[in-house]
Amino acid sequence: MTPAILVPGAVNFRDVGGLPAEGGATREGVLFRSGNLARLEDAGVVALGELGIRRIIDLRADDEVRHAPSRVAGLSLVTQRVPLFLGSVASFFSGDVSLDDMYRQLITDSAAGVVDVVRGVIADQPVLVHCTVGKDRTGVTVAVALAAAGVEAEAVVADYARTEALLPARRNRRVVELLRAQHPGARNLEDLATRSPAPVMRDLLETVAADYGSAAEYLQAHGMSGDEVAELRRVLIA
């Protein structure tokens, strides 16, 4: 597992290289993940350029993008929009949805979007996948891609769980305070806003395996070809 990368202004930015997998480990410098890029500092834009990112896959909804547009002007890259939630982000807080239920809903209702993300990973590298915080939409799609490529399940879980330690405490306090004022009785609020518990991702991967056989078969059940899955493994695993 590679150390977190300093991209000033980006939250939860990291390379998923170095994870143990069938036949080797994930390549470094190929697949990155993060929160949004709306507060990138000038040095952060330079750092992103130095990483050679060729494609950014933005999983946010239209209103999120309008509210917090990415600061990537001047960089030579493709931005691929794949809004993953069928409902609004706010609806998960107002409905007091658990992380488990949110993730199951995502892989069921947004399966076509998950496939689009994985195809984007295959299309160009280095590639960055991000949403607003880099925890849920990014966490699920990157986990599916890694698992389908043959990364060991516990390594996928550990990469997901790592987010919790990378979210700034000050940011968490501010966000929870704001949301608590809007949803005073919500039991799942702090999980939704700040946490990435390993058991949640472990349960999701087990659910995918139980329902489809494997993450690779999940992708194929929703339109990917066997050749595309093989290319994903070639791209990500060394």
The H-or-E segment that residue 190 falls in is: helix 189-194
Per the model's pLDDT, the better-predicted residue between 95 and 142 turns out to be 142
The predicted pLDDT at position 3 comes to 75
Residues of the chain above pLDDT 70, percent: 99
Residue 78 has a CB neighbour count (10 Å cut-off) of 13
Q: Which tens digit of pLDDT belongs to each residue from 135-169?
A: 999 999 999 999 999 999 999 999 999 999 999 99
Tokens, residue 131: 């949403």
The predicted pLDDT at position 87 comes to 67
Mean pLDDT of 1-26: 92
The verdict on domain 14-236 having CATH code 3.30.413.10 is: no
The predicted pLDDT at position 60 comes to 96
Q: Which tens digit of pLDDT belongs to each residue from 40-69?
A: 999 999 999 999 999 999 999 999 999 999
The predicted pLDDT at position 1 comes to 76
- Dump the DSSP string for 74-108: T---EEEE----SS-HHHHHHTT--HHHHHHHHHH
Residues whose CB falls within 8 Å of the CB of residue 233, separated by 6 or more in sequence, listed in order:
148, 149, 150
pLDDT(115) > 90: yes
Smallest Cα–Cα separation from 97: which of 208, 183, 21? Answer: 183
Q: Where are the domains of the chain?
A: 14-236
Cis omega before residue 168 (within 30°)?
Answer: no
Q: Which tens digit of pLDDT belongs to each residue from 176-198?
A: 999 999 889 889 999 999 999 99
Taken in order 42, 33, 197, 66, the sign of the CA dihedral is: positive
Q: Are 137 and 111 in contact (CB under 8 A)?
A: no
pLDDT(6) > 90: no
